[in-house]
Amino acid sequence: MNKLQLIEKELQELHQAGLYRSLLSVEGMEGTFVKIGGKKYLCFCSNDYLGLAGHPRIKRAAQEAIERYGWGAGASRLVSGNTTIHEALESALGGFKGTEAALVFPSGYMANVGAITALVGKGDIVIGDRLNHASLIDGCRLSGADFRVYAHKDMEGLEGVLRRSSQYRKRLVVTDGVFSMDGDLAPLPHIVELAKRHKAILMVDDAHGTGVLGKKGKGTLEHYGLEGGVDVQMGTLSKALGGIGGFVAGSKTLIEYLKNRSRPFIYTTALPMAACAAAREALKIIEEEPSRREALWRNVRCLQEGLKVQRFKGLKVPEVESPIFPIVVGNAKEAVALSRSLFEKGLWVTAIRPPTVPEGTSRLRVTVTSEHTPERIKTLLQALL
Ligand SMILES: Cc1ncc(COP(=O)(O)O)c(C=O)c1O
């Protein structure tokens, strides 16, 4: 077999296992609707939780930034790509997260890889939940540190690893705040206490909590009343903030350290200024319009109640703590078939399969946003019957 045939064979194997991935081409978006192949679909799989991706104020902010700065940053932040708008966004993010400073990365993925690989290396240990997001896992693997995993939310497991690892120079504990494929929350009060007791650095990925959880939308730490309890707070500008980019918030020392040591910060072109301006406007809207978050949570409760009453095909949908509803089907091909049957009824819910989720837990990951309505949620529930 030549090298291309080897690759083709792997693709065929993915097909056979129901794990082949292909792209759907969206031709236009309007609120919770998307146009694909000339047809309108009701989307229940976006992370635009507060409906900000198409907000007129955010579009205007991006357009004005393009007029003022142009489109591309032209170089890394440390060469010529740093602008006042990057710094204004970082200052706003630090204020929002209640930290001394923040640092923006071109994506959330890069923020996670960039923080972990800078903080730990050979001779250190990094410890994470088994269901952490792929970007955290990749950061852990790339760092060169010893990498240990504990069972999902298993605090005895975490404590065991911490007890047995006191010989390491640095220890880093990493967890999602809201688990991205299951929608449940990390037991942060317990994790904060364990990390403190064992003098480990704690990093929380709050990609799905930022803008969504807590009275003011500051995230999972605000939800638990744990502000100040975590050393490294990571978040994205790409989900509830409706744009693109990632960030790390923490002490001034941490941020200065990352500027000097984080390769995905140093060796890449800066996030475009328009994206920074858009994210800054999104933060203002989150602060000024709590009604968006209230609408989101009303919709979460509406779908939760509907699923409880309906007992969808005998599948159990757990009590959710976020706008993410995992409808676990099990088999990858069956999850794809279910997603397809919804698509035929005008609904878009992507099937999530391994390696994104563990083997045998393929699912539909339904997400609701502030822009859904009880009628649209009813449409989904009826399609699921
Ligand atoms: C938990 C979590 N962390 C990090 C990321 C990466 O963020 P981004 O999409 O902004 O790169 C995602 C989503 O993709 C996520 O779900």
pLDDT tens for each residue of 19-35: 999 999 999 999 999 99
Q: Which residue, of 228, 260, 288, is where some domain finishes?
A: 288
- For residue 244, give the nearest of 93, 66, 106 by alpha carbon: 106
- Residues 109-156 have pLDDT tens digits of 999 999 999 999 999 999 999 999 999 999 999 999 999 999 999 999
How high is the pLDDT of residue 227? Answer: 92
Q: How confident is the model at residue 311 (pLDDT cuts 50, 70, 90)?
A: low
Is 317's pLDDT higher than 80? no
The least confident of 86-90, 166-170, 305-309, 346-350 is 305-309
Q: Which atom of ligand 1 is nearest to the CA of 179?
A: 1
Distance from residue 48's CA to the centre of ligand 1 (Å): 12
Q: Are residues 341 and 219 in the same domain?
A: no
Specify if 360 maps to a domain: yes
- Beta strand residue intervals within 60-135, DSSP E: 101-105, 125-129
- Residues 236-259 have pLDDT tens digits of 999 999 999 999 999 999 999 999
The number of distinct structural domains making up the chain is 2
Distance from residue 238's CA to the centre of ligand 1 (Å): 8
- For residue 248, give the nearest of 153, 118, 130, 149 by alpha carbon: 118
- Beta strand residue intervals within the chain, DSSP E: 26-30, 33-36, 39-43, 101-105, 125-129, 146-150, 171-176, 201-205, 232-236, 246-250, 324-330, 347-348, 351-352, 362-367
Q: Are residues 258 and 145 in the same domain?
A: yes
Distance from residue 207's CA to the centre of ligand 1 (Å): 6
How high is the pLDDT of residue 313? Answer: 64
Specify if 9 maps to a domain: no
CA atoms within 13 A on the CB side of 194: 24
Q: Is 22 a residue of the active site?
A: no
Residues 258 and 224: beta-carbon distance below 8 Å? no
Q: How confident is the model at residue 361 (pLDDT cuts 50, 70, 90)?
A: very high
Residues 127 and 171: beta-carbon distance below 8 Å? yes
User: 230: Cβ–Cβ under 8 A, 6 or more apart, which residues?
Assistant: 188, 192, 202, 203, 204, 221
Specify if 185 maps to a domain: yes
- Helical packing angle, 56-69 and 273-288, nearest 10°: 150
Amino acid at 95: G
How high is the pLDDT of residue 319? Answer: 81
Q: How confident is the model at residue 78 (pLDDT cuts 50, 70, 90)?
A: very high
Q: How would you class 39 by CB atoms within 10 Å of its CB: exposed for 0-12, middle for 13-18, buried for 19 or more?
A: exposed
Q: Which atom of ligand 1 is nearest to the CA of 237?
A: 10
Q: Which protein residue's CA is at the shortest distance from atom 9 of ligand 1? A: 108
Specify if 6 maps to a domain: no
Is 316's pLDDT higher than 90? no
Question: Which protein residues are within 6 Å of ligand 1, measured from CB?
Answer: 107-109, 112, 133, 135, 176, 180, 205, 207-208, 236, 238, 246
3-state secondary structure of 66: helix
Q: Are residues 320 and 282 in the same domain?
A: no
Specify if 15 maps to a domain: no
**Catalytic residue (choose from 223, 239, 362, 370):** 239
Q: Is 208 a residue of the active site?
A: yes
Q: Which residue, of 248, 269, 288, is where some domain finishes?
A: 288
- Residues 183-228 have pLDDT tens digits of 999 999 999 999 999 999 999 999 999 999 999 999 999 999 999 9
How high is the pLDDT of residue 309? Answer: 76
Is 312's pLDDT higher than 80? no
How much of the chain exceeds pLDDT 70, in percent?
A: 98
Q: Which atom of ligand 1 is nearest to the CA of 245?
A: 10
User: 6: Cβ–Cβ under 8 A, 6 or more apart, which residues?
Assistant: none
Q: For a pocket test of ligand 1, which of 105, 109, 212 has the largest count of ligand atoms closer than 8 A to its C-beta? A: 109
Q: Is 239 a residue of the active site?
A: yes
Rounded to 5 degrees, φ, ψ at 213 are: -100, 155
Tokens of 89: 């966004």
**Catalytic residue (choose from 208, 218, 223, 372):** 208
Q: Are residues 144 and 30 in the same domain?
A: no
Q: For a pocket test of ligand 1, which of 133, 136, 232, 322 has the largest count of ligand atoms closer than 8 A to its C-beta? A: 133
How high is the pLDDT of residue 276? Answer: 98
Is 89's pLDDT higher than 80? yes
Q: Which residue, of 238, 266, 288, is where some domain finishes?
A: 288
Rounded to 5 degrees, φ, ψ at 77 are: -55, -35
CA atoms within 13 A on the CB side of 226: 23
- Helical packing angle, 252-261 and 108-119, nearest 10°: 90
Could you tell me the maximum CA-CA distance found in the chain, to the nearest angstrom? 61
Mean pLDDT for the chain?
A: 96
Distance from residue 5's CA to the centre of ligand 1 (Å): 33
Distance from residue 135's CA to the centre of ligand 1 (Å): 7
Q: How confident is the model at residue 314 (pLDDT cuts 50, 70, 90)?
A: low
Q: Are residues 100 and 234 in the same domain?
A: yes
Q: Are residues 324 and 363 in the same domain?
A: yes
Distance from residue 245's CA to the centre of ligand 1 (Å): 9
Q: Which residue has the tokens 């923006």?
A: 104
**Which residues constitute the domain of residue 192?**
56-288
- Residues 147-171 have pLDDT tens digits of 999 999 999 999 999 999 999 999 9
How high is the pLDDT of residue 303? Answer: 94
Specify if 351 maps to a domain: yes
Residues 202 and 180: beta-carbon distance below 8 Å? no
How high is the pLDDT of residue 261? Answer: 98
Rg (CA), the chain: 21
Residues 281 and 259: beta-carbon distance below 8 Å? no
* pLDDT, mean of residues 329-346: 96
Q: How confident is the model at residue 275 (pLDDT cuts 50, 70, 90)?
A: very high
Specify if 236 maps to a domain: yes
Residues 140 and 116: beta-carbon distance below 8 Å? yes
Q: Are residues 38 and 94 in the same domain?
A: no
Neighbour tally for 72: CB within 10 Å: 12
* pLDDT, mean of residues 46-59: 98
Query: The CATH number of the domain where 302 resides is what?
Result: 3.90.1150.10
How high is the pLDDT of residue 320? Answer: 86
Query: The CATH number of the domain where 105 resides is what?
Result: 3.40.640.10
State how far the Cα of 325 lies from the Cα of 183, in Å rounded to an integer.
6
